[in-house]
């Protein structure tokens, strides 16, 4: 089991609320990622970080924002939740690989978000 944690595991919240999904890893990995996954669909990268104070948007446009103040912590925030944000959010981390080969990504258990 990878040492990467996400809280909460499940969240049901009303439209317009501000929410923060937490992700922490204890492996000292520089790179961290947020993915969005709908049932039966592939994972889509929405944010990533190369290290502290580094954040980038991924392939899928998202209204969420992220921060990376500490190596081990990569929270995702939605300022005003909407029903279209209902999805599963997966956090992952990896070492900085040498060369251009992609390093192994370790995934957290995910947060299932439902916005009513």
Partner 1 sequence: KNQVEQSPQSLIILEGKNCTLQCNYTVSPFSNLRWYKQDTGRGPVSLTIMTFSENTKSNGRYTATLDADTKQSSLHITASQLSDSASYICVVSDRGSTLGRLYFGRGTQLTVWP
Binding site for partner 1 (CB under 8 A): 2, 4, 31, 40-45, 48, 90, 92, 97, 99-110, 112
| DSSP 8-state secondary structure symbol assigned to residue 105 | P
Closer to partner 1 at the Cβ: 67 or 105? 105
Closer residue to partner 1 in complex, CB, 14/99? 99
85 phi, psi to nearest 5 deg = -85, -5
**Min CB(88)–partner 1 separation in Å:** 8
| DSSP summary character for residue 61 | -
Query: Least CB distance from residue 49 to partner 1, whole Å?
Result: 11
Contact 46, 60 (CB under 8 A): yes
Distance CA 25, CA 55 (A): 16
Place of tokens 């009513």: 116
Rounded to a whole number of angstroms, the minimum distance from the CB of residue 26 to partner 1 is 15
Of the two residues 71 and 105, which places its CB atom closer to partner 1 in the complex? 105
């Amino acid at each position: 089991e990878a040492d990467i944690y996400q809280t909460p595991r499940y969240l049901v919240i009303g439209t317009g609320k501000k929410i923060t999904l937490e992700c922490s890893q204890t492996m000292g990995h520089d790179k961290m990622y947020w993915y969005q996954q709908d049932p039966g669909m592939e994972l889509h990268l929405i944010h990533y970080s190369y290290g502290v104070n580094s954040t980038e948007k991924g392939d899928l446009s998202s209204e969420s924002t992220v921060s990376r103040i500490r190596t081990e912590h990569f929270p995702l925030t939605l300022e005003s939740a909407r029903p279209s944000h209902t999805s599963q959010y997966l956090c992952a981390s990896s070492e900085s690989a040498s060369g251009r080969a992609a390093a192994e990504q370790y995934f957290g258990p995910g947060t299932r978000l439902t916005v009513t």
